[in-house]
Structure 1
Amino acid sequence: MEAAAALQDKASVTLKFKFNPKLGIDNPVLSLAEDHHDSSDPWNLKRPRFCLLSKEHGESFGFHLQHQLGRAGHVVCRVEPGSPAQLHGLRVGDRILAVNSNVVDHEDHGVVVGHIRASGPRVLLTVLAQHVYEVVRAQREDDADLCPLLGPGVRPRLCHVVKDQGGFGLSVTHGAQGPFWLVLSAGGAAERAGVPAGARLLEVNGVSVDKFTHSQLNRKLWQSGDQVTLLVAGPEVEDRCRQLGMPLAAPLAEGWALPAKPRRLHLEKGPQGFGFLLREEKGPDGRLGHFLWEVDPGLPAEAAGMQDGDRLVAVAGESVEGLSHEETVCRIRAQGPRVSLVVLDPQADRFFNMVRLSPLLFLENEDTAVSPQGPGSASLVESEDLSVEDTASSPSPAGPRQCLLYPGPGGGYGFRLSGVASGLCLFISQVTPGGSAARAGLATGDVVLEVNGCAMGGDNSPEKLQRLADAQPPLCLKLAARSRQNSEAWMSLGSGEDWAPTSL
């Protein structure tokens, strides 16, 4: 009896799976994902967690970010099953504290989405469970303690090393398998390229070497030819990340002696326009992109340094990755006569594609020139040639008017709706500066009469809006100026900006 009871007790114990590096994993189900945290106790996550997400071109990270009306902060409201977000530990209810090295806890929703979009194929999110956040926030006054970050200069480095007569000027600690540390030759190519002494080697040409064998690493370095790009972390960086529990993440890297970099161009429209064409086409790597062609001699585009074949990366500091041609043209037109663009020449484009990092992470700090937008800026553009005159309309006279909106890079239109209970009317309660709604001329207090031809108002307005939230763009609104006689309080019709959470 005692033996049977002992066997029963032993069977009730949950056994942890242990990976044997010699035998490997026979059952593929066991290798689908790692359980980074024990979810049985929701209070075991009192410290912020770090989620390093990676995606392929054309895909998403697989989570939705909700900006809660009336509350500060940004909360994950949905995580797609099997997505990078789910596989790397992001959870519904997580509060986003930082994106890469940027604290975003008190930033506007658009700023947070912009940081994530600008991070390209890889992003490091610092998160904290929402219920834990509320308790910790009530107990602390110092934001710095809540969101740990690497200090200035204490970050991984992306170093481009060009071989000289002494080779790359480095040797690798010998071991059967990574991790590897570097030993530098005094005055050698690696040292001149900014590789710190005793640095840990993380990536070679955008490929992680942590699980490489020594022979695989040597082969990778040999295949690089006369130049190689290394992601490294000095001893102080490695120690600090270990203290914080933070991964040595590539999106945190500083650039040292990089062979190419993004260029910021400031254009001021002349009598003959800007002097270039924007086309959506496949680049040399087969990916769709927005390319600049037919740069006219003597016009503002050429004077600003634009070259034929440059790829457009950002407009007014905001990434245009994933935007359609029409949306990108709208963004440029919305800046008015003064436009700020970030572009890459073909060599720089190939380089950042190889290292799998967004060029916007290495853009030199500079105030972006953004012209103020008037209330009548139209967002619909039919012409491909940006040298033609703008089609922005003048402000509409009193009475009903129609506005056509395209979604921004976060998927939203840049406004919030509220209503008056007794009047059964819908109003624009907030317009995001620089968003699609602002560019199309929406103003706080505008009455929404129709959405995509569907009349608003009445008891079922919230239900109508819920159905229209998934409508295909463009969004056509029929608006009227709000009557001054109606001064009743607004009631919120949704918890998030733009009706729907932002998909990332």
Structure 2
Amino acid sequence: MEAATGLRDTASLTQKFEFNAKWGIDNPVLSLAEDYDPSDLWSLVRPRFCLLSKGEGSSFGFHLKQEPGGAGPVVCRVEPGTPAQHQGLREGDRILGVNNHVVECEDYAVVVRHIRASGPRVLLMVLAQHVHDVARAQQGTSAHLCPTLGPGVRPRLCHIVKDEGGFGFSVTHSHHGPFWLVLSAGGAAERAGVPPGARLLEVNGVSVEKLTYNQLSRKLCQSGEQVTLLVAGPEVEEQCRQLGMPLAAPLAEGWALPTKPRCLHLTKGPKGFGFLLREDKGLDGRPGQFLWEVDPGLPAEKAGMQAGDRLVAVAGESVEGLGHEETVSRIRAQGSCISLTVVDPKADRFFRMVRLSPLLFLESTEAPASAQEACSASPVKTKELPVEDTALPPVPDGSRPCLLYPGPDGGYGFRLGCVANEARLFISQVTLGGSAAQAGLQMGDVILEVNGYAMGGENDLEKLQQLAEAEPPLCLKLAARSCQDSEAWNPPGSGEDWALASELL
């Protein structure tokens, strides 16, 4: 394109403007590049890459929502001053890829699952909504707009243990350029999977991009007898350069890692699963869901569970950041056959050090089995939710009542969302097996009343907070979000403005 190499003679742009109805161009001065190749879609709709990093207990700072009609998820809000804003994520961006997974045709839940499983760092491939629509119109719905690295062409996370020859590499660099590794033949680095001519990206989870040679040397010396390096071979570096993709840690595959996440497949026995799930603090003081009281001879021990293991996923879905009640509900919802992904204290410390989720390395260890294929865990030892008669008389206007009691941790097992441009609250998420799910709440149900107080005003959230502190039960009046059921309460035209939940990630 000429715009990439320099501006053309502007004399040709001073002609009198005539509107072109065919092309719909209403400002020719903004159309400097007219010599593009329509078949070269990649040059026109090249996605943007946003590498986000968050601290413990914080978020990336963007909200994701499902578009009406089942289209892929779209960023609906970016919080100011957050990693998402700093890395250029914008409202209206459509998510095409998460790390090396193409998600442009996946539903909302799958995309959220990939982002959460990525842990404290995630690489998003995005495209502005209007550009995405143009590309789809040109290429059709079957074309993939998201670039991916080829099979085996990924950065490597390599754990190197010193031998008599040291780490088995030396470092070379230009004055202001990156660092490259020169390997010793048959040395520790080569045995750990470091490719020849590799570029060094991180040492023990810390980027070396801004380090001087002396700082890097000190860091390697401080590593002691072992070090974990993030490296990229020449082929990876070249492919990422061509795609405009950053050499990001969440893309890495593990080589010779000192520890791995473990997938435990349990089947419920006559005496249950034989373990206790408890919310506790780890060795670093951070809260999590830990497995204790592993009974000898029962399914949990036979599957390899160890007391002190931290639970990171249920049936392959991350439970990081979830409370105890919601985690227990997800386990119960799998029935008598379930897969639990766990890390022991050593693995926990390692993956926290490199600032990557252990779930990113399941493909190189063992893929979690489905509930039908795996052996599962029995009901976790915890209080049962109170059993109450929730039968209430039907409401004649097409809505329905729902009676809720809090679970063992005091929560009701659902989250709220807002309808865009409307003063209306609805159910954006229902915890599997929780109080709300047992009472029949469904994602998308609109809240009309709470304990007799009508919803639909500007202070709904404040009212709900006050009502949530009242004595249970919580009595909701709900309406389903389908078009047939919504006519009684939706204002004219609001059906077209319906937006599903926006979720902070």
TM-score with structure 2 length normalisation? Answer: 0.75
Deviation at 1:436, TM superposition (A): 6.3
Equivalent residue runs for 1:72-471 within 5 Å: 72-141=71-140, 145-364=144-363, 366-370=367-371, 386-387=380-381, 402-403=403-404, 413=415, 439-440=437-438, 442=440, 451-454=449-452, 463=456, 467=460, 471=464
Q: Which residue identity is paired with 2:272?
A: G
Q: For residue 7 of structure 1, what is the aligned residue in structure 2? A: none
Aligned to 1:243, what secondary structure does the other structure show? helix
Q: 1:393 to 1:267 in 2, by over 3 A?
A: farther
State the alpha-carbon separation in 2 of the partners of residues 56 and 236 from structure 1: 32
Give CA-to-partner distance per residue, 1:107-159, whole Å, 9 cap, x none: 11111111111100000000001111111110113755511111111110101
1:432–1:438 contact (8 Å) kept in structure 2: yes
2:261–2:343 contact (8 Å) kept in structure 1: yes
Aligned to 2:68, what secondary structure does the other structure show? coil
2:385–2:435 contact (8 Å) kept in structure 1: no
Aligned to 1:197, what secondary structure does the other structure show? coil
Equivalent residue runs for 1:44-55 within 5 Å: 46-55=45-54
Moved more, 245-254 or 181-190: 181-190
Q: Which residue identity is paired with 2:403?
A: Q
State the alpha-carbon separation in 1 of the partners of residues 114 and 44 from structure 2: 25
Q: Which stretches in structure 2 are left out of the alignment for 5+ residues?
A: 1-29, 34-42, 374-378, 394-400, 420-424
Q: Which residue identity is paired with 2:451?
A: G
Deviation at 1:493, TM superposition (A): 8.4
Aligned to 2:91, what secondary structure does the other structure show? coil
Deviation at 1:272, TM superposition (A): 2.6
State the alpha-carbon separation in 2 of the partners of residues 140 and 468 from structure 1: 44
State the alpha-carbon separation in 2 of the partners of residues 103 and 318 from structure 1: 18
Aligned to 2:69, what secondary structure does the other structure show? coil
Deviation at 1:325, TM superposition (A): 1.7
Q: 1:412 to 1:115 in 2, by over 3 A?
A: farther
Aligned to 2:245, what secondary structure does the other structure show? coil
2:479–2:485 contact (8 Å) kept in structure 1: no
State the alpha-carbon separation in 1 of the partners of residues 274 and 403 from structure 2: 31
State the alpha-carbon separation in 2 of the partners of residues 468 and 321 from structure 1: 26
Aligned to 1:146, what secondary structure does the other structure show? coil
Aligned to 1:173, what secondary structure does the other structure show? strand
State the alpha-carbon separation in 1 of the partners of residues 497 and 479 from structure 2: 22
- The Cα RMSD (Å) is 3.8
Q: For residue 503 of structure 1, what is the aligned residue in structure 2? A: 504
Q: Which residue identity is paired with 2:381?
A: S
State the alpha-carbon separation in 1 of the partners of residues 417 and 371 from structure 2: 20
Q: 1:252 to 1:187 in 2, by over 3 A?
A: same
Deviation at 1:391, TM superposition (A): 5.1
Q: For residue 12 of structure 2, what is the aligned residue in structure 1? A: none
Aligned residues: 431
Deviation at 1:450, TM superposition (A): 6.2
Q: For residue 8 of structure 2, what is the aligned residue in structure 1? A: none
Give CA-to-partner distance per residue, 1:331-354, whole Å, 9 cap, x none: 222222223211100000000000
1:448–1:478 contact (8 Å) kept in structure 2: no
Deviation at 1:496, TM superposition (A): 3.0
Q: Which residue identity is paired with 2:498?
A: S
Give CA-to-partner distance per residue, 1:170-219, whole Å, 9 cap, x none: 11114445411111111111111111100100001000011211111111
Deviation at 1:255, TM superposition (A): 0.5
Moved more, 348-357 or 208-217: 208-217
State the alpha-carbon separation in 2 of the partners of residues 208 and 171 from structure 1: 18
Deviation at 1:280, TM superposition (A): 1.7
Q: Which residue identity is paired with 1:222?
A: C
Q: 1:435 to 1:151 in 2, by over 3 A?
A: farther
1:49–1:128 contact (8 Å) kept in structure 2: yes
Deviation at 1:401, TM superposition (A): 5.0
State the alpha-carbon separation in 1 of the partners of residues 463 and 47 from structure 2: 34
State the alpha-carbon separation in 2 of the partners of residues 469 and 147 from structure 1: 42
State the alpha-carbon separation in 1 of the partners of residues 426 and 341 from structure 2: 36
Deviation at 1:468, TM superposition (A): 5.1
2:479–2:486 contact (8 Å) kept in structure 1: no
Deviation at 1:269, TM superposition (A): 2.3
Overall identity of the aligned pairs, in %: 62
Q: 1:239 to 1:454 in 2, by over 3 A?
A: farther
Moved more, 348-357 or 101-110: 101-110
Q: Which residue identity is paired with 1:357?
A: L
Aligned to 2:381, what secondary structure does the other structure show? coil
Aligned to 2:311, what secondary structure does the other structure show? strand
Give CA-to-partner distance per residue, 1:451-481, whole Å, 9 cap, x none: 542466xxxx6x2598259945799564799
Deviation at 1:47, TM superposition (A): 1.6
State the alpha-carbon separation in 2 of the partners of residues 334 and 414 from structure 1: 21
State the alpha-carbon separation in 2 of the partners of residues 293 and 135 from structure 1: 54
1:431–1:443 contact (8 Å) kept in structure 2: no
Aligned to 1:181, what secondary structure does the other structure show? strand
TM-score with structure 1 length normalisation? Answer: 0.75
Q: For residue 56 of structure 1, what is the aligned residue in structure 2? A: 55
State the alpha-carbon separation in 1 of the partners of residues 250 and 414 from structure 2: 25
State the alpha-carbon separation in 2 of the partners of residues 134 and 405 from structure 1: 44
1:335–1:371 contact (8 Å) kept in structure 2: no
Q: Which residue identity is paired with 1:187?
A: G
State the alpha-carbon separation in 1 of the partners of residues 300 and 429 from structure 2: 31
Q: For residue 379 of structure 1, what is the aligned residue in structure 2? A: none
State the alpha-carbon separation in 2 of the partners of residues 212 and 445 from structure 1: 49
Q: 1:296 to 1:414 in 2, by over 3 A?
A: farther
Q: Which stretches in structure 1 are left out of the alignment for 5+ residues?
A: 1-39, 373-384, 418-425
State the alpha-carbon separation in 1 of the partners of residues 201 and 273 from structure 2: 43
1:178–1:211 contact (8 Å) kept in structure 2: no
State the alpha-carbon separation in 2 of the partners of residues 264 and 196 from structure 1: 29
Q: 1:469 to 1:96 in 2, by over 3 A?
A: farther
Give CA-to-partner distance per residue, 1:266-300, whole Å, 9 cap, x none: 22222332222222222111211111111111222
Q: For residue 5 of structure 1, what is the aligned residue in structure 2? A: none
Aligned to 2:194, what secondary structure does the other structure show? coil
